[in-house]
């Protein structure tokens, strides 16, 4: 086994958000590396228990990272490594529920860092976001230093806040932190839903023979990263000494147009309903996204291998195997920002207010 994998052998490891799309794969891989125990702390707010790997060295604790009773329960086990992936996900969700976003991604991350520092963990790896704080005008490919303070969503703000807290704990307490910035992860394990990513949602609608709804013109690009490649990068971030205090893009380094993605998904699923176009969301102003992976290659030896076409086939196989669960749990209920017509029972707007008795 390579050193960046064998380092986890016999260790006590905490993965927050370990029931999620990415976290569940991470738990699986760390377990396979021969970890002593992998503790999973997850409140299942955006995932299902069936996604948590059922393995002898995996212990699942259902609870929030904001719940200090649960944090004490986990940290009394003295985890040596912490992978902090729990988050309120993602942009549109945070636009709809900014305070919830702030609590989980802001205060929750601060609490994790505090407990990790007290427990003197050997490594704290933070799941940050590559789509979050690169400026609209930043040149491609996006390098780690092209950050902007002009952010578009609460999620982008709180992911940046998480990185800033990591920097503080590293400088002030010497906590060995590494910040990993993910770019559009996809693959088996991510169920579709109102606030989920484009690939699981396209896959879901394609399997239901519906037209795929593209927000924008379809010319927009994203850097889609297969979850297996991402996990390999995260494991490396937990090992290399030169990574401490640094931030790394974990991406594929390949740009894919959304229209091409939609056509690939329609092809492999046999969906003949085509695509439709709706206007872009107000916060979604970055038309191109392509990451530089130079730094991760140089310091972590990170080498993403999966082509989008192959990753999509693996994702489709997972969808077919788990279709019963996916159908049961997929929710596309409108969020807080959706326009809901107000019923006035025939009265003109404002008339209801006039009927409220005046205060004495």
Residues that bind ligand NAD (CB under 6 A): 16-17, 19-23, 41-47, 64-66, 85-90, 104, 108, 127, 129, 182, 184-185, 197
DSSP letter assigned to residue 324: H
Least separation in angstroms between residue 72's CB and ligand NAD is 14
| CA distance readout (Å), 202 to 180, 209, 319, 323, 333 | 26, 10, 12, 14, 17
Helical packing angle, 258-269 and 198-207, nearest 10°: 40
Which residue lies nearer to ligand NAD by CB, 333 or 358? 333
Least separation in angstroms between residue 187's CB and ligand NAD is 10
Contacts of 39 (CB under 8 A, 6+ apart): 12, 13, 14, 15, 59, 61, 74, 77, 79
Which residue lies nearer to ligand NAD by CB, 88 or 204? 88
Which residue lies nearer to ligand NAD by CB, 243 or 344? 243
CA distance 173 to 168: 8
Which residue lies nearer to ligand NAD by CB, 104 or 252? 104
Which residue lies nearer to ligand NAD by CB, 249 or 271? 249
Q: Output phi, psi for 42, to 5 deg.
A: -155, 135
CA distance 250 to 304: 8
Least separation in angstroms between residue 190's CB and ligand NAD is 6
Q: Are 292 and 244 in contact (CB under 8 A)?
A: no
Q: Output phi, psi for 309, to 5 deg.
A: -60, -40
DSSP letter assigned to residue 243: G
CA distance 250 to 215: 25
| Number of other CB atoms surrounding residue 159 within 10 Å | 30
Which residue lies nearer to ligand NAD by CB, 46 or 116? 46
Helical packing angle, 227-237 and 23-32, nearest 10°: 60
Catalytic residues, by residue number, are 155
CA distance 323 to 317: 10
Q: Are 313 and 268 in contact (CB under 8 A)?
A: yes
Which residue lies nearer to ligand NAD by CB, 44 or 244? 44
Nearest-CB residue for ligand NAD: 20
Least separation in angstroms between residue 69's CB and ligand NAD is 13
Least separation in angstroms between residue 357's CB and ligand NAD is 43
Least separation in angstroms between residue 51's CB and ligand NAD is 8
> For residues 169, 252, 224 and 236, what is the CA-based torsion angle, rounded to 10 degrees?
-40
């Amino acid at each position: 086994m390579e050193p960046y994998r064998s380092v986890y052998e016999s260790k006590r490891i905490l993965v927050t958000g370990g029931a999620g799309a990415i976290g569940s794969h991470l738990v699986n891989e760390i377990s396979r590396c021969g970890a002593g125990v992998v503790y999973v702390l997850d409140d299942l707010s955006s995932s299902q228990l069936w996604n948590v790997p059922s393995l002898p060295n995996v212990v699942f604790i259902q609870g929030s990272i904001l719940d200090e009773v649960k944090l004490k329960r986990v940290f009394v086990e003295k985890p040596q490594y912490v992978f902090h992936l729990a988050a309120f996900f993602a942009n549109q969700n945070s636009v709809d529920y900014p305070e919830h976003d702030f609590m989980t991604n802001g205060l929750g991350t601060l609490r994790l860092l505090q407990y990790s520092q007290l427990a003197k963990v050997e490594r704290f790896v933070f799941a940050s976001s590559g789509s979050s704080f690169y400026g609209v005008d930043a040149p491609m490919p996006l390098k780690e230093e092209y950050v902007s303070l002009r952010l578009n969503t609460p999620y982008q703000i709180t992911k940046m806040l998480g990185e800033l807290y990591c920097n503080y704990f590293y400088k002030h307490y010497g906590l060995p932190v590494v910040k990993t910035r993910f770019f559009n992860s996809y693959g088996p394990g991510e169920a579709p839903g109102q606030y989920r990513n484009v690939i699981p949602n396209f896959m879901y609608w394609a399997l239901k023979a519906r037209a795929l709804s593209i927000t924008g013109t379809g010319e927009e690009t994203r850097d889609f990263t297969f979850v297996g490649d991402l996990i390999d990068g995260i494991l490396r971030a937990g090992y290399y000494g030169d990574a401490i205090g640094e931030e790394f893009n974990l991406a594929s380094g390949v740009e894919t147009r959304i229209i091409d993605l939609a056509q690939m998904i329609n092809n492999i699923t046999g969906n003949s309903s085509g695509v439709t176009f709706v206007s872009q969301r107000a916060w979604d102003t970055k038309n191109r996204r392509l990451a530089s992976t130079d730094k991760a290659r140089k310091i972590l030896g990170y080498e993403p291998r999966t082509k989008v076409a192959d990753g999509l086939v693996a994702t489709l196989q997972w969808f077919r195997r788990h279709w019963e669960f996916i159908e049961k749990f997929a929710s596309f209920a409108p969020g807080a920002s959706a326009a809901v017509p107000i019923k006035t029972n025939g009265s003109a707007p404002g008339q209801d207010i006039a009927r409220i008795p005046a205060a004495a």
